[in-house]
Structure 1
């Protein structure tokens, strides 16, 4: 056994939907997991980890690491065809126990990175990719993220985002292990109604809630009779949020601190955090953690400490399976265009969302921000399409039951000429990945089929 992660993790307190899980039940479940793994996996193995029981998922994750195995965290509905995409021509052994499913690749030589685990990227722009993350890097990342939010052992983390995602593993599992704080598992997302019920049941105190931009929009639509108490901190990640929207949401809480955070699976995953401030420019995603260095790769192909360019990250928690073309001087090159000014990072656009219309740079997010103001529009996506005359033109896909003509009139009144979408598609509901990110690949397939 290499570690005692499980023993440390079990020192924390756990609950599900606000109902406490006894220490005895947690210990008994841990013994079951330990016995199963020790009996069935004799050699260090790469292990697919899937489980819809949240506490058992956590205990299995840490127990596998304790025994020298390398877990790959997957969604419960991740199927065999998808698994084969990642690990072809490998010798597999099956181990099943109800909803607890593992597929192990036996043999020490198969484990390329010791003391590591793997997560998948969300696949927002294509197929998900495997990222191998070290346990030391993960512990650093969880601690740095917790410090940026001023978390302590007295806080309760409200799990409302997937555990199997790199964010969930760092911000729930590793954070609990590092701080010893309480972890409350939730079977459904805790919107305003759910939080209000928890207040009424007196099961909400010193709580911390992580939410996605899509969840922010959902919470804004919900009505509350009185401000929610017991939530100290709410932090938004997984995409850009508008400060004005977060400030509106703050009115539904009593004495809450709001933050925006940025990260990506390849970075292990968190990079920066910052307080929500209506005075700051649009796109603020915080300042890098103290131990993380960030730069921009400019159009002149130079690494600079400030200015506009692709965000580049040097961090102890970067993924281990890096390709040569992904790095420069130890910095991981992201596909996110940012502006760094006085150590503050401002998100501009995804690389694929920069649209050159007649040689003029147009940012998809600038169009999306305006479009989301249109009544009845739930969400939208702007992308680039080749054009003979202009080189590229913006195309808008709108989610919701909206009138295309009225939407176009609305946009023409608020956007510059080159920003106006040359075509608008209406989709009733967007397909999404974990963290509620839009599944662009499936969305484009829907558009193609309907054209």
Structure 2
């Protein structure tokens, strides 16, 4: 039996293919039947273009339902999907194309699907094994040159089935989809849960307040990044009544502030479900669907995922092993070998701890660890204190070269106040070596496409803080 991910997803499409798949505000819906026909013809068109099993198909195109058809058609043809951020510059794209060497690079999914209308449809998916490559996802590159994480059909299937079960998806759901689809969150997490349920999606090209508020009226589940939730809370139109029929709000891709979690629950009566994932493993842990969701915690490992703290310490680098973990970095065998332990655990680079009951907490990235005067400082611990201080909207803590301590703690803050006051208030709550020695106020923090603060840029900008 083929283990092609497309076959596994399509087997769960609704029996009545006339059921809507993509609900577009102000436009006609696209049915599951429409999608299935487009996928078969687009897969046939790929084959006609000479794309074979294992070939890469790169797509850098706006978010449309046709872009999803290209993704599914690539799977069906046994090829490897390579999504590229629409914000990438030509020079950045040049790097990815040179590295992945795709057989086809597409920038207009709508036109490509339209071209495929006269292609002989590929009725049967190319047989694939669980170990065959399905996609290459390039890491965000916040700490260096992007690496291509190789995800197999088996890895994506295992993760999708585990999430579908963990989050209680059913055909009665309607998913509000406002995420980009060049990233695992919108492409794999959201789409796969919907397809496995055969449920519709309210399909939004991007997050826009009015469209999201309108879409919420038709939906039962929303997946978003923390910025989505802060924007909703800032909108007076987002009321408890507006959210009353929603059964689940999921947040990921960047840390959710405790203040956002608490304010959202107070406004709606519903706690956001925060989860933890990365390009190399899609989703790793999740707070429970039924059970306590705690602000600041990312919940428990998904079934099948083994999670441990490296070195046996109480707090340390998180290591994982399981069927959904990637098979390595594209054409980087040495880097792959560096990132896995001798017993097969992937070293995530995220620092955290695990409670005796298995609940996981993330402290930050290992590369963000500050060593000041010989003491380890975890930025997340300092940020949690700063974010509670009056006048602080959000903070990012970094280390900068210091003549006496090696590194000194620097806080970059969105908000208002006086540097000396914030340092004094932090000092009341933190040991001296953890407290910021400098505070800089900014209008915004640099972020990547999924909302993660790019601390490498902050370290460059404030490298002379103690000069």
Same topology, TM > 0.5: yes
Taking the TM superposition and a 5 Å limit, the aligned residue runs for 1:61-210 are 61-88=71-98, 98=108, 114-189=132-207, 191=209, 194-198=211-215, 203-205=217-219, 207-210=220-223
Among 284, 288, 311, which residue is 2:318 paired with?
Answer: 311
The 8 Å contact of residues 211 and 236 in structure 1, kept in 2 or not, is answered as yes
Question: Counterparts of 1:26 and 1:291 in 2: how far apart (Å)?
Answer: 32
Q: What is the aligned partner in structure 1 of residue 347 from structure 2? A: 333
In the TM superposition, residue 52 of structure 1 has moved relative to its aligned partner by 0.9
Q: Does the residue aligned with 1:417 lie in a helix, a strand or coil?
A: coil
Taking the TM superposition and a 5 Å limit, the aligned residue runs for 1:206-217 are 207-217=220-230
Judged with a 3 Å threshold, the aligned counterparts in structure 2 of structure 1 residues 276 and 241 are, in CA distance, closer, same or farther, namely farther
Judged with a 3 Å threshold, the aligned counterparts in structure 2 of structure 1 residues 182 and 345 are, in CA distance, closer, same or farther, namely same
In the TM superposition, residue 33 of structure 1 has moved relative to its aligned partner by 3.0
Q: Quick check: 1:222 aligned with 2:262?
A: no
Q: What TM-score do you get using the length of structure 1 for normalisation?
A: 0.83
Question: Counterparts of 2:136 and 2:277 in 1: how far apart (Å)?
Answer: 16
Q: Quick check: 1:41 aligned with 2:50?
A: yes
Among 387, 390, 411, which residue is 2:426 paired with?
Answer: 411
Question: Counterparts of 2:432 and 2:107 in 1: how far apart (Å)?
Answer: 60
Q: Quick check: 1:258 aligned with 2:275?
A: no
Question: Counterparts of 1:124 and 1:89 in 2: how far apart (Å)?
Answer: 18
Question: Counterparts of 1:372 and 1:382 in 2: how far apart (Å)?
Answer: 11
Judged with a 3 Å threshold, the aligned counterparts in structure 2 of structure 1 residues 413 and 215 are, in CA distance, closer, same or farther, namely farther
Judged with a 3 Å threshold, the aligned counterparts in structure 2 of structure 1 residues 326 and 431 are, in CA distance, closer, same or farther, namely same
Q: Please report the RMSD computed on the Cα atoms of aligned residues, expressed in angstroms.
A: 3.4
Question: Counterparts of 2:102 and 2:364 in 1: how far apart (Å)?
Answer: 41
Q: Quick check: 1:274 aligned with 2:274?
A: no
Q: Does the residue aligned with 2:444 lie in a helix, a strand or coil?
A: coil
Residues 391-449 of structure 1: CA deviation (Å, up to 9, x unaligned): 33211112356554554454345443222211222322222212211223344444469
Question: Counterparts of 2:387 and 2:307 in 1: how far apart (Å)?
Answer: 31
Q: What is the aligned partner in structure 1 of residue 441 from structure 2? A: 426
Question: Counterparts of 2:418 and 2:291 in 1: how far apart (Å)?
Answer: 32
Judged with a 3 Å threshold, the aligned counterparts in structure 2 of structure 1 residues 424 and 95 are, in CA distance, closer, same or farther, namely closer
The 8 Å contact of residues 401 and 407 in structure 2, kept in 1 or not, is answered as yes
In the TM superposition, residue 314 of structure 1 has moved relative to its aligned partner by 0.7
Q: What is the aligned partner in structure 1 of residue 373 from structure 2? A: 358
Question: Counterparts of 2:459 and 2:257 in 1: how far apart (Å)?
Answer: 26
Judged with a 3 Å threshold, the aligned counterparts in structure 2 of structure 1 residues 73 and 65 are, in CA distance, closer, same or farther, namely same
Q: What is the aligned partner in structure 2 of residue 320 from structure 1? A: 327
In the TM superposition, residue 120 of structure 1 has moved relative to its aligned partner by 1.8
In the TM superposition, residue 280 of structure 1 has moved relative to its aligned partner by 7.9
Judged with a 3 Å threshold, the aligned counterparts in structure 2 of structure 1 residues 196 and 165 are, in CA distance, closer, same or farther, namely closer
Please list every run of 5 or more consecutive structure 1 residues that lacks an aligned counterpart in the other structure: 103-112, 299-303
Paired residues in the alignment total 428
In the TM superposition, residue 385 of structure 1 has moved relative to its aligned partner by 2.5
Please list every run of 5 or more consecutive structure 2 residues that lacks an aligned counterpart in the other structure: 15-19, 113-130, 330-335
The 8 Å contact of residues 320 and 346 in structure 2, kept in 1 or not, is answered as yes
Judged with a 3 Å threshold, the aligned counterparts in structure 2 of structure 1 residues 441 and 170 are, in CA distance, closer, same or farther, namely same
Q: Does the residue aligned with 1:252 lie in a helix, a strand or coil?
A: helix
The 8 Å contact of residues 273 and 286 in structure 1, kept in 2 or not, is answered as yes
Q: Does the residue aligned with 2:433 lie in a helix, a strand or coil?
A: helix
In the TM superposition, residue 152 of structure 1 has moved relative to its aligned partner by 1.9
